[in-house]
C-alpha cells in the first residue's frame, strides 16, 4: 500500500495545476510550430527555429518575429498565428474548460483548481460562471474592435480583405499580441489616423486591465444604478474592489506619465516625432505609451528612438499590464504593492495599506518575489545575449524586456539573432507568459509536512543594507 500511495503522490506532483498550465502552453507552441513549418503555411523556406520562434511569440502573445509575417506566411499560416494568439491570450485550459462547462454545466474539483491558478483567482467559487464571462467579454471587445478597424481597412483593401484585416488585428490587439499582417512598416503609415490609433489603444487597454476589473466594474455599476439616482464618480469609485482601484489608478498614471515622457524625449527627434504636428506628436506618444505596456504595435520607427527613450520604454515593458488579463510583465499591482511596502517601511509601518485597506503579508511577499525573480531572469538573459550577440547593449536590453514582458517591440534586432539568441528569447517569452513563479513551481518539489519531523532552527543575526 505504501508503494502505491507513493506512486499516486508522485503522479499528482507531475500533473499539478502549475505544471498543467505550463505544459498546455508548451504543447500549443509545439503543435503551432509544426503547422507553421508546413509548406501550405509558407511562401518561402525558413529554418524550423524561426517557426518555433513565431509560434512561441504568438502563443505567448508577444509579437517578436524574425521576418515579416505578411511576406513569409500564407493565408493558412496567418490563420494558424491568429488562432495561437487567441489561445495564448485566453489560455488553452480556459478554452478547454469553457467547452466542458458548456456541455456539462459544471466543472470537476480538479479542473476548478487548475482554472483558479490559470485565471489568477483567490477562490474556486463560481469559476464556471467566471469562465463564461471571460469568453463573453472577449467576444464583445474583439467584435467591436473588428467593426471599427474594418472602417479603416475596407476602403483600402476591399470588403472581404478589409473585414479579415479588421478581425485579425482586433484579436491581436485585445490579446496584447502586437502581431500585424500589414507589412514591414507595421502601423507607421497610420500614425496620425485617429480611429486606428484609439481603436488599437482601446483594445490593448481593455485586454490589459484584466477580466476581474471588467466584471467588477459591471457588477458595481448595476448595484449603483439600483441604489442611487444620481451618478457620483467618488461614490462609484468607493464601491469598487481594492484590486480594481489599484489597477485603474496605476494604469491611468502609467499611461499619462508614459505619454509625457516619450513626448518630451522624442519631441525633436527627426526619425520619430520631429516632423509631426503637436497634436500628432501627442497621439503617437500616447499610442506608444499604451502599446509599450505589452502590446508591441509600432507607430514610430523603433530603431530611430533615443537611447534614453528605449531605456524608459524597457521599464514600462517590464511593468506590463494588470493581472488576470492578456498582458504580460510583472503586472501593475505587483509594482504598486512593492512600492507601497517600501513607503510603509519608510514611515515605520510594517503593514501595507491602500485605500483604507490592509494588504495581506503573503501578497506582499509574493509581489516582492515576482519583482526580484523577474529582474534576475531578465538579467541572466541579457548576460547571455551580451556575450553572444553583436549588437548595441541598449538594443539588447530593449529586446530582453520586450520578450519577458511579452510586448513585441524591437529595434530591428530580432531578425539578426543567432540560434542561441533566439532560444534565449523563446525561453524569456515563455516564462514571461506563464509567470516566473509558475515556472519555479513547475520544477519545485512538493513540500511534504510529516508529523514529528518539523524542525524550527534558532534565529541567526545577519547584517543587511
Mean pLDDT of the chain: 84
Q: Given this model, what pLDDT does residue 397 score?
A: 96
By CB atoms closer than 10 A (0-12, 13-18, 19+), residue 369 is middle
* Overall average pLDDT of the 159-183 stretch: 93
* Overall average pLDDT of the 153-180 stretch: 94
- The continuous run of DSSP H or E covering 190 comes out as none
Decide if pLDDT at 365 tops 80: yes
Highest mean pLDDT pick, 68-72, 307-311, 364-368: 307-311
Q: What is the pLDDT of residues 111-156, one digit of tens each?
A: 555 555 555 555 555 666 777 788 888 899 999 999 999 999 999 9
Q: Given this model, what pLDDT does residue 414 score?
A: 92
Sorting pLDDT into bands at 50, 70 and 90, what band is 345? confident
Cross-strand pairs, 354: 357
Q: What SS3 state is found at 445?
A: coil
Instruction: Give 179's contacts (C-beta < 8 A, 6+ positions apart).
Output: 57, 58, 63, 65, 69, 81, 82, 85, 172, 296, 408
Helices H / strands E in the chain, number of each: 20, 2
Q: How far apart are CA 371 and CA 373, in angstroms?
A: 6
Q: Given this model, what pLDDT does residue 44 score?
A: 81
CA atoms within 13 A on the CB side of 118: 32
pTM (2 d.p.)? 0.87
Helices (H), 158-241: 159-174, 194-209, 211-227, 233-238
Q: Given this model, what pLDDT does residue 120 score?
A: 56
Q: How far apart are CA 305 and CA 286, in angstroms?
A: 15
* Overall average pLDDT of the 207-220 stretch: 85
Q: How far apart are CA 262 and CA 309, in angstroms?
A: 7
Q: Given this model, what pLDDT does residue 13 score?
A: 46
β-strands 357-359, 352-354 pairing: antiparallel
Instruction: Give 192's contacts (C-beta < 8 A, 6+ positions apart).
Output: 276, 280, 283, 284
Eight-class DSSP state of 358: E
354 phi and psi angles, rounded to 5 deg: -145, 135
Q: What SS3 state is found at 123?
A: coil
Does residue 136 or residue 314 have the better pLDDT?
A: 314
* Overall average pLDDT of the 179-191 stretch: 89
Q: What is the pLDDT of residues 62-100, one digit of tens each?
A: 989 999 999 999 999 999 999 999 998 887 556 655 555
Eight-class DSSP state of 417: -
By CB atoms closer than 10 A (0-12, 13-18, 19+), residue 192 is middle
Q: What SS3 state is found at 430?
A: helix
Decide if pLDDT at 252 tops 80: yes
Does residue 380 or residue 463 have the better pLDDT?
A: 380
Q: How far apart are CA 100 and CA 92, in angstroms?
A: 12
Amino acid at each position: 500500500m505504501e508503494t502505491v500511495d507513493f506512486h499516486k503522490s508522485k503522479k499528482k506532483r507531475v500533473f499539478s495545476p502549475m505544471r498543467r498550465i505550463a505544459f498546455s502552453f508548451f504543447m500549443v507552441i509545439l503543435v503551432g510550430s509544426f503547422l507553421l513549418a508546413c509548406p501550405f503555411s509558407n511562401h518561402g523556406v525558413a529554418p524550423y527555429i524561426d517557426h518555433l520562434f513565431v509560434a512561441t511569440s504568438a502563443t505567448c502573445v508577444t509579437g517578436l518575429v524574425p521576418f515579416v509575417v505578411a511576406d513569409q506566411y500564407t493565408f493558412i499560416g496567418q490563420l494558424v498565428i491568429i488562432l495561437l494568439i487567441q489561445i495564448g491570450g485566453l489560455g488553452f485550459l480556459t478554452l478547454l474548460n469553457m467547452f466542458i462547462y458548456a456541455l456539462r454545466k459544471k466543472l470537476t474539483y480538479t479542473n476548478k483548481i487548475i482554472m483558479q491558478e490559470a485565471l489568477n483567482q483567490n477562490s474556486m467559487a463560481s469559476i464556471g460562471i467566471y469562465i463564461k464571462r471571460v469568453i463573453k467579454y472577449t467576444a464583445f471587445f474583439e467584435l467591436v474592435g473588428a467593426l471599427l478597424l474594418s472602417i479603416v481597412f475596407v476602403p483600402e483593401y476591399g470588403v472581404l480583405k478589409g473585414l479579415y484585416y479588421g478581425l485579425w488585428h482586433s484579436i491581436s490587439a485585445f490579446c496584447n499580441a502586437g502581431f500585424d499582417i500589414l507589412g514591414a512598416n507595421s502601423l507607421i503609415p497610420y500614425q496620425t489616423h485617429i480611429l486606428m490609433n484609439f481603436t488599437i489603444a482601446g483594445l490593448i487597454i481593455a485586454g490589459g486591465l484584466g477580466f476581474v476589473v471588467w466584471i467588477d466594474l459591471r457588477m458595481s455599476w448595476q448595484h449603483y444604478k439600483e441604489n442611487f439616482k444620481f451618478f457620483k464618480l467618488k461614490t462609484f469609485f468607493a464601491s469598487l474592489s481594492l484590486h480594481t482601484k489599484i489597477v485603474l489608478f496605476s494604469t491611468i498614471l502609467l499611461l499619462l506619465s508614459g505619454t509625457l515622457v516619450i513626448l518630451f524625449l522624442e519631441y525633436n527627434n527627426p526619425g520619430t516625432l520631429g516632423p509631426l504636428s503637436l497634436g500628432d506628436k501627442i497621439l503617437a506618444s500616447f499610442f506608444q505609451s499604451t502599446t509599450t505596456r505589452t502590446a508591441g504595435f509600432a507607430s514610430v520607427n523603433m530603431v530611430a528612438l533615443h537611447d534614453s527613450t528605449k531605456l524608459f520604454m524597457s521599464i514600462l515593458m517590464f511593468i506590463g499590464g494588470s493581472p488576470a488579463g492578456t498582458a504580460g510583465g510583472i503586472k501593475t499591482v505587483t509594482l504598486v504593492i512593492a512600492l507601497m511596502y517600501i513607503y510603509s517601511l519608510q514611515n515605520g509601518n510594517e503593514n501595507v495599506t491602500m485605500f483604507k485597506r490592509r494588504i495581506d503579508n503573503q501578497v506582499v511577499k509574493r509581489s516582492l518575489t515576482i519583482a526580484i525573480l523577474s529582474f534576475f531572469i531578465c538579467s541572466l538573459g541579457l548576460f547571455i545575449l551580451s556575450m553572444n550577440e553583436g549588437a548595441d547593449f541598449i538594443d539588447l536590453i530593449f529586446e530582453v524586456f520586450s520578450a519577458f514582458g511579452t510586448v513585441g517591440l524591437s529595434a530591428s534586432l530580432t531578425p539578426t539573432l543567432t540560434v542561441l539568441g533566439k532560444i534565449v528569447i523563446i525561453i524569456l517569452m515563455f516564462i514571461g507568459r506563464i509567470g516566473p513563479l509558475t515556472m519555479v513551481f513547475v520544477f519545485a518539489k512538493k513540500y511534504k509536512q510529516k508529523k514529528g519531523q518539523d524542525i524550527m532552527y534558532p534565529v541567526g543575526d545577519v547584517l543587511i543594507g
